[in-house]
Structure 1
Amino acid sequence: MKPRIAVLGCGYWGSNHIRTLKALGALHAVSDANAARAEGFASEQECLALDPDELYAREDIDAIVMALPPQFHAAAAIRAVEAGKDVLVEKPIALTVPDAEKAVAAARANKRVFMVGHVLRFHPAFEMLKQLIDAGELGTVKYIHSHRLGLGKFHTENDALWDLAPHDLSMILAITGAAPTEIRGEGAALLDHLSDFAHLHMRFPGGLRSHLFASRLNPYRERRLTVVGTKAMAVFDDVEPWDRKLAVYRHAVWQDSGHWAFTTNEPSYVPVNAGMPLTRELEHFIECIGTRAEPRTSGEEAIGVLRILTAGTVTHD
């Protein structure tokens, strides 16, 4: 049987969870501090509308998806796992590493599933990119850079780094399999005291380097992850149509008589089966609830992402 899942937080991203869980046959209830908003979704999706304080004690709820402002995630997650609920917590799972560690430790102590909403880990193009890397198609990975640019959204608590970078950091950590040994951040606040632009420079064990650029004040959208290996380079570009989302470039670079030479080749586009990352993420959550397996995007991974965000944050007056 499908688990009975409630969504806590009926805002923009919570509403996507609500509709997707309904389509998967696992939506049981919705909850929000704004009761009228919850009632509206409950009527639309034919499920229960519950007060947040009522949610945790309900025996007919197996798991909770949390899509709250991030400053409330840790406390809500701890309350849920101590009430025996499995949780999927949207990113970031907390605003400090200690708070995140407390939430993850509480889930472990209560033997509850703790999954994090790093949704791009479930993107079919990224999954295929990871397969190519693991199979050695790119050779040894030397450099990874990601660009996540656009106009908005603007938050009162999150700057561009904390709002936009977690997805890319999750993908980078999945590729490197290790935490960075060096982190350097640069930011620029143009609208208020929160950075609207952010750069992260990272060095990983073995000499692998990575650079991340995030902006919420950019005139065009860019959603691109580039991996440079010793055999080939690959680009996951989520703005492109499905048949062009994953490209592999087999350029060649070599030394000839003491000088560097190179040849360029047209990209080959790797076939990727279309699929909604959020649907695949929630299917994985449902599977983990049933099997009690550790989620692909675990609490430990989220703590690693938070450590990088914390180290790379630039404060502004």
Structure 2
Amino acid sequence: MVGNVTQDYTHISLGLIGCGAWGKNLARNFKALGVLRAVADASPARTQEFSELFNVPTLSAPELVKSAEIQAVIIATTAEEHFTLAKAALLSGKDVYVEKPLTLTNPEALELCKIAREQNAILMVGHILKYHPSFQALLKQIQDGAIGDILYIQSVRHGLGRIRRKEDVLWDFAPHDLAMILEIAGESPLSVSAEGGAALVQNYATIASLNLEFPSGLKASVSTSWVSPIKEQRLVVTGTKGVIVFDDRKSWEEKVILFKNHVLWNEDMPHTNFECEGIAIPHPQAEPLKAECQHFLDAILSREIPHTPGEEGLLITTILEVAQEALLTQKAIFMDDAPQPQKLRAI
């Protein structure tokens, strides 16, 4: 999954649309990999700043998408612009990387996946935490049976977010955690429920949580908040033999902690083992975004499906659409196997 650090990517030509804070991180990495050729943004001042900072020419978004000299397009704009820009790039024969969320509606995400298949194009979504060495270390422990059979997955993503009017906190924060949960679960959820509140902006939740139930019986929850002064980024996976935690706010040495024998049994009654001590799981330190950027370039060269393909973005978009409906109806909603909005039904 992680890009080959010795690979020469410089013959790939890449354009970036979206010169915001995250766009700067993407530009920095793709520039270091020798592939950034042009930038575009709705703000002329921001575009000029990027042009000077990374020593690349500026284009308008339509010019960049249509340029015969650009092979792949990175989209790091606001979420409501993702569909239009990604569709134009795919139809122009470009490979496309889209920051999360892929789109804000299921039909749009479905259309992008269809176009990518028809064009034989790479469509990749920026689910960065799946490229995080700490998550990969956690996943390996689970796959090696360190915590036994998985019973429950809990994630928390709280902090002072940038309040939006086109999307709520679930669309902003939850894609990270949903991508990790789906990777661990290895299956699509059977049903989704959600609760939350529009504390600051009418009709858009600033605090929200969703619950997932999977066909295997596994359950998972995601808690999000834009208005917490305490920043939390934590994933807890509970199994029959232990618990493993990925806490991205900890130092690198403490990011992944394994707790064995956290529950003891007295005949058929479980009780907490208060003497259980965590074991730090050593793993190499590396920048997740660099690994993600390299992986996109490797997919361009190999023409292999990336680890976070458009179809994953489609599934997460569908889950979030269902969660929004569940917020309104206060009912759990079933998801059929095919992620089609007409196949959603309230319990």
Q: Distance in 1 between matches of 2:186 and 2:268?
A: 35
- Map 1:1-317; keep pairs closer than 5 Å: 1-2=9-10, 3-193=12-202, 194-263=204-273, 264-313=275-324, 314-315=327-328
C-alpha displacement of 1:241? 0.5
Unpaired stretches in structure 1, ≥5 consecutive residues: none
Contact 2:243 2:262 (8 Å CA) reproduced = no
C-alpha displacement of 1:315? 4.4
For these two proteins, the number of residue pairs brought into alignment is 316
Name the % identity: 37
Q: Distance in 1 between matches of 2:168 and 2:34?
A: 35
Secondary structure, counterpart of 1:187 in structure 2 = strand
* 1:46-100 C-alpha deviation (Å, 9 max, x unpaired): 1111111111221211101101111111121111111111000011111100001
Contact 1:35 1:51 (8 Å CA) reproduced = no
Contact 1:183 1:203 (8 Å CA) reproduced = yes
Q: Distance in 2 between matches of 1:238 and 1:181?
A: 28
Aligned AA (1:143)? Y
Secondary structure, counterpart of 2:295 in structure 1 = helix
Contact 1:75 1:103 (8 Å CA) reproduced = no
Secondary structure, counterpart of 1:207 in structure 2 = coil
Unpaired stretches in structure 2, ≥5 consecutive residues: 1-8, 330-347
Q: Distance in 2 between matches of 1:23 and 1:177?
A: 34
Secondary structure, counterpart of 1:147 in structure 2 = strand
C-alpha displacement of 1:260? 3.1
Secondary structure, counterpart of 1:56 in structure 2 = helix
TM-score norm. by structure 2 comes to 0.88
Q: Distance in 2 between matches of 1:257 and 1:138?
A: 21
Secondary structure, counterpart of 2:58 in structure 1 = strand
Cα 1:257–1:272 shift into 2, 3 Å: closer
Aligned AA (2:294)? E
Q: Distance in 2 between matches of 1:136 and 1:259?
A: 23
Aligned AA (2:82)? H
C-alpha displacement of 1:219? 1.8
* 1:108-143 C-alpha deviation (Å, 9 max, x unpaired): 100000000011111100011111111222111110
Q: Distance in 2 between matches of 1:236 and 1:291?
A: 31
Contact 2:165 2:201 (8 Å CA) reproduced = no
TM-score norm. by structure 1 comes to 0.96
Aligned AA (1:160)? V
C-alpha displacement of 1:302? 0.8
C-alpha displacement of 1:159? 0.9
Moved more, 129-138 or 277-286: 129-138
* 1:270-310 C-alpha deviation (Å, 9 max, x unpaired): 01211111111001001001101101001111111111111
Aligned AA (1:24)? L
